[in-house]
Amino acid sequence: MIDAAGYSIEKQYEVLLFHYHWIVPRLGPAPKSDGTPVFKSLIAYDGSPLEYSWKWNTTVGEPDIRYSWEAIGKDSGTASDPLNHDPTLDYMDKVTQVLPATDYSWFRHFLAEIYNPDREFYAKELEAGEPPATTLMHAVEYNKKADFGLKSYFLARKLFMGGDPNTLQEWDDAIVKLTPGEGHPGRDALMHFMATSPEGKLMKPNVMGMDNIDSSKSRLKMYFTSTHTSFKSVREIMTMGGICDIAEESLQDLRSMILAVLGLPADFPEEEEISVEATTGGNTWKDFEALCEGFIYFFDIAPLNGKPEVKFYLTTRKYGADDLTIARNLMAWMHAHGRGTYCDAYLGMLERLSEHRGLENGKGMHAYISYQCSQKGEPDIKSYISPELYHKARYAGI
């Protein structure tokens, strides 16, 4: 990926050294002979503890590579570490040796506020039959012209069971305690939207994330899923009912990307819900039948923000055709917007990642495609790519 994205040899070496020393040893035990993971991460549908991200180039820029990952150890998901926190704590304690500007203040705050320090409480849940699940994850941004950036995330508990109804209140209580006695306009705006907007009332929290930097500069991101898929609902959520000032041109640009990637006609009605069946070309993908329908959004509500910044995620692991068709549709849109310089490299990279089954023969390598409007220039667009580390086809000959 870093080669396809145009990283220099020197920067590639730096990236690979960090990945080898700080990430690989923390990706958990080897899977079983058929590819079944010992601890199934929620980051990817097959249990992979990695999800890559390709930040698309602008008309004059270059791509950047990053990934999210889960630290996993030999005791993850057992009574001694029921929430799989120990590998994360070890990583946090040590990685500052090479990235001294890393600041985990916010992460430690939320860790203390959200979770019961008595591990026996969670061990009893495992004894009662609840499956072990991801609660924490991290990300690394391999910036070309700056130090590597680290991020951390909290996942809503009991996602396998439809989510914990107490999650939003628990997270909000912890957010308020970040700046006691001070204003938090971004948080207030989000809570108002969720309490008053018909679309806001339907959103369910699934992830909360932050940059591991000085709190005065960090984002605080809350991710929600909406079951609605019409562009009318996308417009309402992206603008937060009119609170966020997004130009109509930007909204129509987002709409055109959604329709292009999913292979829908340009005149698809804004009021009509986009069904899975309308986008999959008649194919049924059994691995994804159980996934919830809908789109994902994040809201950056850092305490210093006056208004939240909103980002849209098109859930291409659920919607759209096979991975090759999605790639070609996205690349055609990029070319039409003057951003096609790296399209051939992107497709070549995907083909190498998918040698186990071929892009045209499956779905899910394109997990999401995100779009964030910019007040200063071109929108920020990313492809989130599952490497399918535990895909059965990778182990067929073993």
- The 10s digit of each residue's pLDDT in 356-373 is 999 999 999 999 999 999
Q: What is the CA radius of gyration of the chain?
A: 21
Confidence of residue 398 (pLDDT cuts 50, 70, 90): low
Query: Which pLDDT score is estimated for 163?
Result: 55
Average pLDDT on 91-114 reads 97
Q: Point out the least confidently predicted range of 69-78, 106-115, 178-187, 379-388.
A: 178-187
Query: Which pLDDT score is estimated for 161?
Result: 46
Query: Which pLDDT score is estimated for 6?
Result: 98
* Residue 4 maps to a domain: no
Sign of the alpha-carbon torsion through 257, 321, 50, 44: positive
For the chain, how many helices (H) and strands (E)? Answer: 10, 10
Most confidently modeled range among 282-291, 321-330, 375-384: 321-330
List binding-site positions for L-tryptophan: 51
Query: Which pLDDT score is estimated for 182?
Result: 84
d(CA 174, CA 111): 9
Confidence of residue 164 (pLDDT cuts 50, 70, 90): low
d(CA 141, CA 234): 28
CB neighbours of 310 closer than 8 A, spacing ≥ 6?
A: 237, 238, 239, 240, 244, 297, 298, 299, 300, 372, 373
* Residue 291 maps to a domain: yes
Backbone angles phi, psi at 291, to 5 degrees: -70, 145
CA dihedral 81, 128, 389, 350 (to 10 degrees): -110
Rounded to 10°, the helix 167-176/185-196 angle is: 150
For 114-123, letters b (16+ CB in 10 Å) and e give bbeeebeebb
* Residue 162 maps to a domain: yes
Query: Which pLDDT score is estimated for 269?
Result: 98
For the whole model, what pTM was predicted? 0.96
| Element of type H or E holding 64 | strand 64-69
Query: Which pLDDT score is estimated for 132?
Result: 87
List binding-site positions for dimethylallyl diphosphate: 66, 151, 153, 219, 221, 223, 313
Average pLDDT on 279-308 reads 86
Query: Which pLDDT score is estimated for 158?
Result: 60
Give yes or no for residue 281 having a pLDDT over 90: no
* Residue 360 maps to a domain: yes
Domain that holds residue 227: 9-395
Confidence of residue 44 (pLDDT cuts 50, 70, 90): very high
Give yes or no for residue 160 having a pLDDT over 60: no
Confidence of residue 303 (pLDDT cuts 50, 70, 90): confident
CB neighbours of 149 closer than 8 A, spacing ≥ 6?
A: 66, 140, 141, 143, 211, 212, 213
Domain count, the chain: 1
| Cβ neighbours around 60 below 10 Å, total | 10
List binding-site positions: 51, 66, 151, 153, 219, 221, 223, 313
Residue with the two structure tokens 């399209």: 343
* Residue 1 maps to a domain: no
Higher pLDDT, 292 or 40: 40
Residue with the two structure tokens 């609170």: 243
Average pLDDT on 61-90 reads 97
| CA-to-CA dists, residue 171 to 58, 165, 382, angstroms | 35, 11, 27
